[in-house]
Every structure is written in C-alpha cells, then in structure tokens.
Amino acid sequence: MREYLLTLCVAAAVTYLLTGPVRKFAIAAGAMPEIRERDVHREPTPRLGGIAMFGGLCAGLLVASHLQNLKDVFELSNEPRALLSGAGLIWLLGVLDDKWGVDALVKLGVQMVAAGVMVLQGLTILWLPVPGIGDVALSPMQSTLLTVALVVITINAVNFVDGLDGLASGMVCIAALAFFMYSYRMWYGYGVDQAAPATLFSAILIGMCLGFLPHNLHPARIFMGDSGSMLIGLVLASSAISITGQVDPDVITDATGSYRDTVHMMVPVYMPLVLPLSIIAVPVADLVLAVVRRTWNGKSPFSADRGHLHHRLLDIGHSHSRAVWIMYFWSALIAFSAVGFSVNSSSLWIVLAIIALSAAGLGILLLPRFRPRVPRWAESFVPPRYRRSRLDAQAAAAAAAAAAIEAGQAPGVNGSTALGDRALLPDRRPVESRR
C-alpha cells in the first residue's frame, strides 16, 4: 500500500506544480478560445491543462518502475508501456485540438488507433466470465473490437461531462478511487498478481486528478481541455480493461473454494461491459442522452449543445458549485455501491444504505423546485434560503415594494422607492388592512 500511496503523491505533486507554468504557456500560446453559447464561464480561460496531467502520469510510472514491490509490474507485464503509448497519442491529439481544433471524426479515428496500439501491446480483454456458463474465451477479433469500443466509449463519456469547473476531474477521481479499492482487494485479498497493473493505473489516475483539482475548482484558473479529459478517460478505461480482461478467474476460485461462488461474486463488477459502465454510469448516461437528443433533433451526434446533465442542473436553479457536488454525489453513490455489492452481494445493509442515500440525493436534486420551511428550532442547521424568518422578511419586503409602486411613489436614487428604507421592512399591519 505504501508504494501505491507514494506513486499517487508523486503524480499529484508533479501535476499540481506543472499546472501553473502550463497555464502561463497556454496564455502565451493563445490557447484561450472565445466564450461559446453553451459555456457557463464568463471570461476566456486557458486550456491545455492536460499537459500537466500527462506529466503527472509519466512521473508516476517512472517512480513506480523503481520501487521494489512495483518493479514486477513493468518486468512481467507490458501493460504500462501499452498505456503510455496510447496515452501519448491521445494526449497529442488533445493538445492539437485545444490549440487549433480537430474535426470530430478525426478525433474518433485517432481514439480508435490509440486503443488499437494498446491492444497490439497486450492491453486487451481476453475472456469474459459468464454466470452459468463459465469463462468465455474471445477470439482476437472479438477481443480487439470489445477493447476498442470500451476505450472509445469511456474517453467520450469523460469528454462529454467536462462542462463545469472541476466536474470531470472530480468524477474521474471518484471512479478511480473505486477502481483502486476493488483492484487492490483482488491483488492483496486474493493474491491475484494480474490485478497489480490496474491498481497502479488507478493510483496514478487519482494523483493526476487530485493534483489538477485545486487549479480547476470554481472559479477555474485553467481547464484541462481535450488533452486532459481524453487522457484521463483513456487511463480509466485501461484500468478497467486490465482488471476485467487479464485476471484469471481460476486464481480467485482457489481462494473462494467454489467456481460457482467465484463467477457469482465477480459478475456484478467484473465483466468488462458492467464494471466501467457502473463506475462511470453518470458520464455514460450523459453521453447516451446527448447522442439520442442530437440525433432526434436531426443534428450530428458530435455537435455541441447545452443539454448535458450539468447544464440541466443549472437551468433548474442549482448554483455552479452545487451542480458539481450533486454530480459527485451520484457518481460516488453508484461507484462505491458497485464495489460494496461485489464485496458482499447478500448484505441487506448495503441495499438499505443505497436506498437511503438515493432518497437523500433526490431530495437535494429537487431543492430548487420547492423551498421547504423548516421549524424555527432547526433554522441554524440549514442554509439561510430555507429559514422561515428570512422567507417571511423577503415576502414582506416584496409586498411593501409592490404596494409602494401601486401607490405611485417614484423610485429613489438607489433604486428604492420614495418611502426610503421603510419599503424594505416587513409590513406589520393586519392582513385585512393590507388588503
């Protein structure tokens, strides 16, 4: 564990320290596009934050290759080299897109090429554990197609959700933490050496996101751009492919004592089509809804619009920060629920906790639609906007102002009525006299 934490801290420190110089470079290079209609920020902000994140990735892999307990990952497996090769292609594509812009179809093609490069170097899905059937070996063509599809979907899901300050980096950090917990349990709890690369990739990804978040939280001083969003999407997909397609279920069978129990335990989060989609369910849902929405409206699936989930949260009344935290909450709930279900799928407490947290999340999600008035004894525990005394004062002030306008009072110098500050005070007359 100490080696993984050291690698995580190195990746975070390098990313954090590089982001400042990268911001200055992005400003000097003119990587500050004009504000578009769908954007939510008010002034041009530099991009190219992915340069710092790529530096954190390289630093994390370099340090890990010299640690005693992690050297075997590089000596016995070619997956770190495969990851670095694919990440380099995606990162270069993202840098070009952040500076000059790249056609959507070209980006899709390069994403497929990067996934193909990783497949050629051994980072691919070899088999699928299917309940009731057992291990289903994949042909080279099936393995390649499934791996490429998983990489492309994950990259674009993360890229689509990158619309608010700190949103993509925070959500990927949550997903990477869930991956780390699951893969570390496979490696340390069951002695599965093939899970070590996925654990390493997840630890480095957590460090990359944590190092970039302080610069990217609202109000953001720099954006990661496509060079960052596509990069962390590829690293996340690589972790999923490594843990799902490379681990031999027979090794876990030796630990559980029952092949049937092994398949049953692994299915909820082990299958490559379930694990990544459950961990990044919110970005994938946003991706699917965006494609359906744009196709339904007769537009290209790659055309940008202002209909993403985070845009809808803003439209219903949530603030920028609250919208981000709501997306964090749902991502964490789904990701850690999947990991918890994989640990003990028969636990009633896990199900009850998921139901309770989902209900709380729905309540927070719908808060802008209604403003409940809490009892006076609980006012100190809620934000000011939900306090009864504050709402009563605001309603009285609005009623007094409207009455003054109807009485023909002229506006004052500071925008108040000729009644002065008295117009903002609560109207203490009886209801009958006010009518």
How far is the C-alpha of 415 from the C-alpha of 350, rounded, in Å?
A: 56
Distance of CA 184 to the CA centre of its chain: 21
Q: Of 88-92, 364-368, 421-425, which one has max mean pLDDT? A: 88-92
Strand partners, 225: none
pLDDT number for residue 349 = 76
Whether 181 shows a pLDDT value over 60: the answer reads yes
DSSP conformation letters of 356-370? HHHHHHHHHHTGGG-
Residues 276, 237: contact at Cβ < 8 Å?
A: yes
pLDDT at 51: 95
Q: CB burial class (10 A; 0-12, 13-18, 19+) of residue 327?
A: buried
Query: Is it the case that residue 253 has pLDDT exceeding 60?
Result: no
Torsion angle of the four alpha carbons 214, 215, 219, 223, in this order, in degrees rounded to the nearest 10: -130
Question: 246 with 126: CB under 8 angstroms?
Answer: yes
pTM above 0.85, yes or no: no
Say yes or no to pLDDT of 345 above 70: no
Confidence of residue 393 (pLDDT cuts 50, 70, 90): low
Confidence of residue 173 (pLDDT cuts 50, 70, 90): very high
Residue 346: its pLDDT value, please?
58
- DSSP line for 275-293: HHHHHTHHHHHHHHHHHHH
> Token pair of 393, please?
């004062």
Encoded tokens for 63: 């340090």
> Which residues contact residue 52 at a Cβ distance below 8 angstroms, ignoring those fewer than 6 apart?
14, 15, 16, 18, 19, 22, 211, 212
Distance, in Å, from the CA atom of 197 to the CA atom of 179, rounded to the nearest integer, reads 12
Phi, psi of 130 (to 5 degrees): -115, 130
Residue 391 and residue 371 in contact, taking contact as beta carbons nearer than 8 Å: yes
Task: Answer with the residue of higher pLDDT: 431 or 404.
Answer: 404
CA-to-CA separations, 175 to 143, 151, 234, 349, in angstroms, rounded: 24, 15, 13, 22
Q: What is the pLDDT of residues 189-247, one digit of tens each?
A: 767 777 888 899 999 999 999 999 999 887 888 999 899 999 999 999 998 888 766 66
Report the pLDDT averaged over residues 15-43: 80
Provide the pLDDT for residue 36: 60
> Can you give the pLDDT at residue 204?
95
Answer whether residue 50 shows pLDDT above 60: yes
Residue 186 DSSP code: I
Check: CB of residue 87 under 8 Å from CB of residue 54: yes
- What distance in Å separates the CA atoms of residue 24 and residue 27, rounded to the nearest whole number? 5
Q: What are phi and psi of 417, to 5 degrees?
A: -80, 175
Over 85-132, what HEC string results?
Answer: HHHHHHHHHHHHHHHCCCCHHHHHHHHHHHHHHHHHCCCCCCEEEECC
> pLDDT, tens digit, for every residue of 258-316?
555 555 555 444 544 455 566 667 777 777 777 787 788 777 776 666 666 766 777 67
How does residue 87 score in pLDDT terms, banded at 50, 70 and 90? very high
pLDDT one-digit tens code per residue, 314-343: 767 677 778 888 888 888 888 888 777 766
Distance (Å, whole) CA 372 – CA 380? 14
